[in-house]
Amino acid sequence: MVAHGIGIWLAVQSIINMGVNMGLLPTKGLTLPLLSFGGSGIVANCIALGILLRIDWENRQLLKGYAI
């Protein structure tokens, strides 16, 4: 569920940014994930991606039959 939440969070950011760039949505000041000019946005996205990578690694270990 955490992985789905993070994926939706990054997808919504991307969809809003693409909509603003195409002129379909009003500007909200939301940047593309991993392309922020401030430090806090990049840090939050990198932490979220790190969590996703850890979830993927643990799932692959479980599929191989290794106990964690």
- Please give the distance of CA 47 from its chain centroid, rounded to a whole number: 9
pTM: 0.73
Please choose, from the candidates 12, 19, 53, 51, the residue with its C-alpha nearest in 3D space to the C-alpha of residue 33.
12
Q: pLDDT by residue (tens digit) across 8-63?
A: 998 998 888 888 889 898 887 777 777 767 778 888 889 999 999 999 999 999 99
User: Which whole-number Å values give the CA distances from 37 to 2, 50, 54, 68, in the listed order?
Assistant: 26, 20, 26, 38
Token couple for 47: 């932490």
Cα–Cα dist 17/52, whole Å:
22
